[in-house]
Structure 1
Amino acid sequence: MNRREALKAVSVIMGGTVIGANTFLSGCSVEKDERVNALFMESDVALLDEIGETIIPTTDTPGAKAAGIGSFMAMMVLDCYEPKHQTIVTQGLTSFKESFNKQYGHDFAEAKPEERIAFLNDLDKAQVEVALQGKGNPEADPHYFRIIKELTLLGYFSSEIGCTQARRYVETPGRYDPCIDYKAGDGAWAV
């Protein structure tokens, strides 16, 4: 073996060691849950996406997750809600994770559709009861699921996907026609 071949062999061995070590060590690293904004972590946004997708699932049109509903909700809660309601949502998400995990033994993201729907139906019943108890009292706090549900609908139907694919949309509508025929099953018009 000459010197040139020896250097190639050593560089291959050393390079393999360095690359192998990096690959090995990266397998041991723990993924960081980065902050999206002052209130929400990436895992919270992912959970909001999954909740939204359960409320408005993908069918022949894309669902809430495709519309980026989790990011929309995180932005809206931070920018548009008063601190009291921000706390209701963030504490509600924590309660949601704990309750679901306690009831089913795994995270919401790993759940079967039937488990997701059953859990959200129970939450919906709870939020209706809270709303009925606070009826007539403008100071009554809403249930966190009511806020999430309302933001899901608002975000989806005001998104590009919601306006152009879930509802009928004409970019330039032209003249006003108050008597347009409606057929059963036609989508609502986007604004």
Structure 2
Amino acid sequence: MDRRELIKQIALLTGGIMIGGNALLTGCSPNKSAKNEKIRFSQQQQDLLNEIGDTILPPTKSPGAKAANVGAFMEIMVRDCYEEKDQQAFIDGMKKLDEASKKIHGNGFMTINAQQKLAFIQQLDKEASDFQAKKGELEAAERKKDKNFAGLPNHYFIMIKQLTLLGYFTSEVGCTQAMRYTPAPGRYEGDVPYQKGDKAWA
């Protein structure tokens, strides 16, 4: 599966467009300002993102998202591929997520149990999907008031979810253990039989 196809699949899975997708496809780093270079996630933030990622893609027969260290991957993607408003929404979102967990469960996301984490993420996923579906409407209403309105940032959880999927399925762990993998160079086989339930090819 090539990068373009993976981005398309992630966009379909998350009900919209791949945020920062143009930068990914062109291989550019559009955000190289001094301000963006200062974007660094602490180890605690990376651990939180890895834990969220592992709730979205938990270990099964293959390792989960935490094994691919998706938290470190997200830092690079947020810094290099996101617009400033989405960068800020993502950074603020990590704090909002932990605060919401404390409000609902009395503890931060890292310390609640697996069942609570899953229920919390499912609720957050619905909230994010609902927001993204209404985003165009909300922006149109704001533009009627202010012609220079630059647009709303995307919901932080949609970005976390997209980057979890992208980070995992482009990692060594995701490519070699979650998908079928044949190292190259190797013998060319133009017609490989498919069995129902087979993993996708990396």
Give yes or no for TM over 0.5.
yes
Q: Which residue of 1 aligns with 2:164?
A: 152
Question: What percent identity do the matched residue pairs reach?
Answer: 42
Q: State how far apart, in whole Å, the 1-side matches of 2:108 and 2:151 are.
A: 33
Q: Which residue of 2 aligns with 1:82?
A: 83
TM-score, normalised by the number of residues in structure 2? 0.71
Q: Which residue of 1 aligns with 2:198?
A: 186
Q: Which residue of 2 aligns with 1:97?
A: 98
1:135-174 equivalence runs, <5 A: 135=136, 139-172=151-184, 173-174=186-187
Letter in structure 2 aligned against 1:174: R
Question: Does the CA-based 8 Å contact 1:127-1:145 persist in structure 2?
Answer: yes
The superposition leaves residues 64-104 of structure 1 with CA deviations (integer Å, 9 ceiling, x where unpaired) of 10111111111211122121111010111110011101110
Q: Which residue of 2 aligns with 1:41?
A: 42
Question: Matched residue pairs, number?
Answer: 153
Structure 1 stretch 45-54 or stretch 77-86: which is displaced more? Answer: 77-86
Q: State how far apart, in whole Å, the 2-side matches of 1:155 and 1:139 are.
A: 27
Q: Which residue of 2 aligns with 1:128?
A: 129
The superposition leaves residues 120-158 of structure 1 with CA deviations (integer Å, 9 ceiling, x where unpaired) of 001110111111102487944321000000000000000
TM-score, normalised by the number of residues in structure 1? 0.75
Stretches of structure 2 that go unaligned for 5 or more consecutive residues are 1-37, 140-149
Query: Structure 1: which 4+ aligned runs deviate by more than 3 Å?
Result: 135-140
Structure 1 stretch 82-91 or stretch 132-141: which is displaced more? Answer: 132-141
Q: State how far apart, in whole Å, the 2-side matches of 1:75 and 1:165 are.
A: 23
The superposition leaves residues 4-46 of structure 1 with CA deviations (integer Å, 9 ceiling, x where unpaired) of xxxxxxxxxxxxxxxxxxxxxxxxxxxxxxxxx6342211111
Question: Does the CA-based 8 Å contact 1:39-1:90 persist in structure 2?
Answer: no
Letter in structure 2 aligned against 1:143: H
1:176 is displaced (CA, Å) by 5.3
Larger CA Rg, structure 1 vs 2: 1
Q: Which residue of 2 aligns with 1:26?
A: none
Q: State how far apart, in whole Å, the 1-side matches of 2:189 and 2:87 are.
A: 41
In structure 2, which of residues 178, 183, 188 is the aligned counterpart of residue 175 of structure 1?
A: 188
Q: State how far apart, in whole Å, the 2-side matches of 1:143 and 1:111 are.
A: 23
